[in-house]
Structure 1
Amino acid sequence: MQDLIKQSFTESIQSKIVAADMLADAIENAAQTIVNCLLQDKKVICCGDGIAYGVAATFTSMLVQPAGATRPSLPAVLLQGNNTQLSVSAGYNQAEYIYAEQLKIVAQPGDVLLVLASDPNNAVLTRTMEAAVANDMIIIAITGDDGGEVAGLISTNDIEIKIPANKPVRIVEVQQLIAHCLCDAIVNTLFPGSQ
């Protein structure tokens, strides 16, 4: 059992080391894109699939509710996937549009859609990205493995941060670290010395 535990730690550490070397530029570009969005009085809209939903929720919370910081809240929205919405959507055979329909209500052109994908072929995420494209939003997708269908929806104005891992749990661990890096970079750029 301890060997399995140590193997998990080793895989996690190695994934993060490789990601740090490969993704620093993309993370910096993503942070600057979000800063530019916020400086133009736009907002960040976040969504995630499965276990990556928690990362999207954490990132949104870090922007909106600064823990112990002396800075104002930043405009961020988490698209919701609660059981009631899923039940209603499923009843109309529209479950894969649950985020896309919310996005159409809250999004404005120039907003940023932050997509956290543990499964890069998730139909809910791809439908949401299609709605973002139709609404002239900038997309930042944090994926893993080969990027899947999510990567296929990234345009030249968008950013993909592709984590060099194929296990969903490793992808989400690195996504969590990237979310913290993004938040730190955004806040330190907008409010130097506030953290």
Structure 2
Amino acid sequence: MLEQRIQQQFFESADLFYQVAEPLSRPLSDAAQMLVDALTAGGRVLCAGLGTSAPDAAYLAALLTGRLEQERPGLAAIYLNGMASGYGDCASSLMRQIQTLGQPGDLLLLFEAQPSGAGAALLQVAHAQELCVIALTGTHDEELRSALQDTDIHLRVPHSRQARVADAHRLLTHCLCDAIDLQLLGAAE
């Protein structure tokens, strides 16, 4: 029984990946282009994650400043740690960091696998700082969706289970980094 349940986890993730490959390929391509445009113009990527998505934001910032598979110069990415300040909650800390660090030409890349209610407020702060936003979410994101602007990109994973959304967010992160590397460096040998 336990082995079947474990196998089901793999099957659910694989099914989801197949399901979202086509509908997310265009917005992923647009997001990669937005990232390249911002970075090559001197902007920075502010990576933030709400709740259990915080490690995804840290991981993306590490891949951008470091590398995915190809050697390249580091790219200007900053992980916004929601617990880094004296504020009692993660969202308030992230808002303060966006206000302090965000400048026109920068991008906010926000991960929210499980709705926290704070995503929309973070987007409002980012827009006040004249940042464009790339938001990676799951299906329960109505408040956040209403705060998106026409210049923002929404990478929405249509699944109700947080674990599956997180699986897909990791794959989307790899796709973004690979597309950035392709545009900046060309195809790997």
User: TM-score range, shorter-chain basis?
Assistant: over 0.9
Residue type of the alignment partner of 1:89? Y
Matches within 5 A, 1:44-123: 44-66=45-67, 69-82=70-83, 85=85, 88-90=86-88, 95-123=90-118
User: What is the CA–CA distance in structure 2 between the aligned matches of 1:95 and 1:159, rounded to whole Å?
Assistant: 23
Q: Which has the higher mean CA deviation after the structures are superposed, 98-107 or 185-194? A: 185-194
Kept in 2, the 8 Å contact 1:120–1:151? The answer is no
- Code of the aligned partner of 2:41: Q
Shift in CA distance, 169/72, structure 1 to aligned 2, threshold 3 Å = same
Amino acid at match of 2:159: A
Q: Does 1:152 align with 2:146?
A: yes
Residues of 2 paired with 1:80 and 1:121: CA distance?
Answer: 16
1:3 maps to 2:1: no
C-alpha displacement of 1:96:
3.0
* Aligned counterparts of 1:12 and 1:131: Cα–Cα separation in 2: 33
Q: Which runs of 5+ in 1 are unaligned?
A: none
Q: In percent, how many aligned pairs have the same letter? A: 29
Alignment of 1:29-44 (within 5 A): 29-44=30-45
TM-score, normalised with respect to structure 2: 0.92
- Supply the AA of the counterpart residue of 1:107: G
Counterpart check, 1:133 vs 2:152 = no
User: How many pairs were matched up?
Assistant: 188
- Structure 1, residues 55-113: CA drift from partner, whole Å, max 9, x if none? 1111110010126743110000110123x63xx312xxx65311010111111112110
Letter in 1 for 2:153: I
Question: Which of these residues, 164, 173, 178, is aligned with residue 170 of structure 1?
Answer: 164
SS at match of 1:57: helix
Structure 2 counterpart of 1:142:
136
Query: Which whole-Å CA distance do the structure 2 matches of 1:161 and 1:67 have between them?
Result: 20
TM-score normalized by the length of structure 1: 0.90
* Alignment check: 8 A CA contact 1:121 1:148 kept: no
Residue 150 of structure 1 aligns to a residue whose secondary structure is: helix
Equivalent residue for 1:186, pick from 180, 185, 188? 180
- Shift of the alpha carbon at 1:147? 2.5
Task: After superposition, give the CA deviation of every residue in 1:132-176 in whole Å (9 maximum; x if it has no partner).
Answer: 010111011011114221111111111101111111110010000
- Provide the rounded CA distance (Å) in 2 between the counterparts of 1:51 and 1:41: 30
3-state SS, counterpart of residue 89 of structure 1: coil
Partner Cα distance (2:142, 2:11) in 1: 26
